[in-house]
């Protein structure tokens, strides 16, 4: 009888710290972000109970650290529920960033009350590199003059010629006739 009483007394405590959700993986888009990209981080989440609807999520960027948290409301059915949370980050400065996600869950409909301790926490790092822009000039350039190798204006062909334009660009051409 004493053993049964002890089991019944400690049964609620055993389930008290149980976790109901876990972080499966992270995906980042674009894969190699640069300092002009909007970055999306996708967190794949797995829960033990039905529904797993999003209750709230937030994130903050402080220096090169991104602190994020998310909470989902769970149902009463014992079925596996997986979902993806998306975090949108505005363009970031060049550097190495740490993304730290804390996952919690609660029961009932939204807003639900979170448990005493978080379900899971995971961290990953990624790099933001410098954007290498390629400018394309589509404006029509006005030709100022055509010169030979000695800088004399010429209209001859079959020799290297320099086409000098008003915007300061110079094209070297060899026209063979």
* Residue labelled with tokens 């400018």: 135
The yes-or-no verdict on residue 21 having pLDDT over 60 is yes
pLDDT given for residue 3 in this prediction: 53
The yes-or-no verdict on residue 69 having pLDDT over 70 is yes
Confidence label for 36 from pLDDT (cuts 50, 70 and 90): very high
pLDDT given for residue 139 in this prediction: 62
pTM higher than 0.75: no
pLDDT given for residue 60 in this prediction: 94
- pLDDT, mean of residues 27-54: 90
What is the overall mean pLDDT for the chain? Answer: 82
Q: State how beta strands 95-107 and 65-74 pair.
A: parallel
Across 67-76, 82-91, 97-106, 143-152, least confident range: 143-152
Of 103, 52, 44, 40, whose CA–CA distance to 78 is shortest? Answer: 52
Query: Which stretches of 30-169 are assigned E, i.e. beta strand?
Result: 39-47, 53-62, 65-74, 81-89, 95-107, 113-114, 120-128, 143-147, 160-165
The yes-or-no verdict on residue 146 having pLDDT over 80 is yes
- For the chain, the domains span 18-128, 143-174
User: Do residues 103 and 73 lie in contact, with contact meaning Cβ atoms separated by under 8 Å?
Assistant: no
Across 13-17, 88-92, 114-118, least confident range: 13-17
Confidence label for 17 from pLDDT (cuts 50, 70 and 90): very low
Higher pLDDT, 136 or 154: 154
The yes-or-no verdict on residue 114 having pLDDT over 80 is no
Q: What is the CATH topology of the domain spanning 18-128?
A: Immunoglobulin-like (2.60.40)
Whole-number Å distance between alpha carbons of 164 and 127? 43
């Amino acid at each position: 009888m004493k053993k049964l009483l002890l089991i019944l007394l400690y049964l609620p405590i055993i389930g008290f710290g149980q976790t109901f959700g876990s972080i499966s993986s992270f995906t980042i888009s674009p894969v190699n972000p640069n300092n002009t990209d909007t970055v999306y981080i996708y967190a794949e989440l797995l829960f033990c109970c039905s529904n797993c609807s999003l209750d709230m999520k937030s994130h903050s960027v402080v220096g090169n650290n991104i602190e994020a948290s998310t909470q989902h409301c769970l149902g009463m059915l014992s079925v596996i529920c997986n979902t993806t949370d998306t975090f949108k980050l505005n363009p970031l400065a060049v550097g190495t960033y740490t993304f730290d996600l804390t996952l919690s869950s609660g029961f009932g409909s939204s807003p639900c009350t979170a448990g005493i301790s978080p379900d899971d926490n995971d961290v990953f790092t990624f790099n933001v590199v410098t954007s290498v822009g390629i400018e394309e000039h589509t404006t029509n350039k006005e030709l100022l003059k055509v010169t030979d190798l000695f800088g004399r204006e010429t209209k001859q062909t079959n020799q290297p010629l320099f086409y000098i334009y008003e915007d300061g660009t110079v094209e070297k051409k060899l026209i063979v006739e």
